Amino acid sequence: ETKEYELKREKITVNPVEGKVLDNSIGYIKFTSFDETTADDFKNKYEELKKSNIKSLIIDLRNNGGGLVSESLDIAETMVEKGKTLLITSNKDKKEEIRKSTQNPIIDIPVVVLINQNTASASEILAGILKDDCNYKIIGTKSYGKGVIQTVYNFSDGSGLKVTTEEYFTPNHDKINKVGITPDTEVKLDSEWENISNIPYENDTQLQEAVKELK
């Protein structure tokens, strides 16, 4: 049997930044990776929620495996005071580079950050920055613990070599790699919900605790 289909070419966002307004005028933003447009999408989503007169914000980094560190730092710039340290990188010779905030923050409301055991890499960097620089409360379980930079060297035959070249540290010089970010308030989920992205609110004890904190 031969069938014909008409297809429409469209831009598809694979890992969208999702947002909504919860009770008590609490904004909620969630995304599962840091892609090329994540920082801009985050800012746009915040501005959208701001029009709904949100009074506080929950940033959900649970099950966020990381991605582009530059996007993570751009999001941090929206909340960290200009001139504060964002990230410290160190090579094998202990030579450090320090990245500082270059912009004035646009988010000036209370913020709580959610993390879990699947929060890794760039999302751990963001959580560490917001914990150290902004004193935002971190709720959930200890993050994964991936805090290294890997450089890929390409060869003429098409093969490549990935080498760990540097390590990340939080603004307070806390180690991330194989350590993770420790939440201020540890809240565990029931085992059946631990690795699920869309948890019903009545079963999401971590989100409930964040809402309680902001109330």
Locus of tokens 């990776």: 33
- Is 123 noted as a catalytic residue in this protein? no
Length of the chain measured in residues: 215
Question: Of 184, 173, 37, 40, which Cα lies nearest the Cα of 113?
Answer: 184
SS3 167: strand
- The one-character DSSP state at 139 is E
Q: Which member of 45, 131, 137, 146 is catalytic?
A: 146
The conformation of residue 67, written as its DSSP 8-state character, comes to: B
Residue recorded with tokens 């049997």: 1
- Which residue is catalytic, options 56, 121, 123, 143? 121
Please choose, from the candidates 171, 204, 175, 202, the residue with its C-alpha nearest in 3D space to the C-alpha of residue 187: 204
Spacing of C-alpha 193 from chain mean position: 20
- Token duo for residue 106: 């646009």
51-76 exposure pattern, b = at least 16 Cβ within 10 A, e = fewer: eeebebbbbbbbbbbbbbbebbbbbb
The answer to whether 63 touches 43, Cβ cutoff 8 Å, is no
Q: Is 146 a catalytic residue?
A: yes
Active-site positions? 121, 146
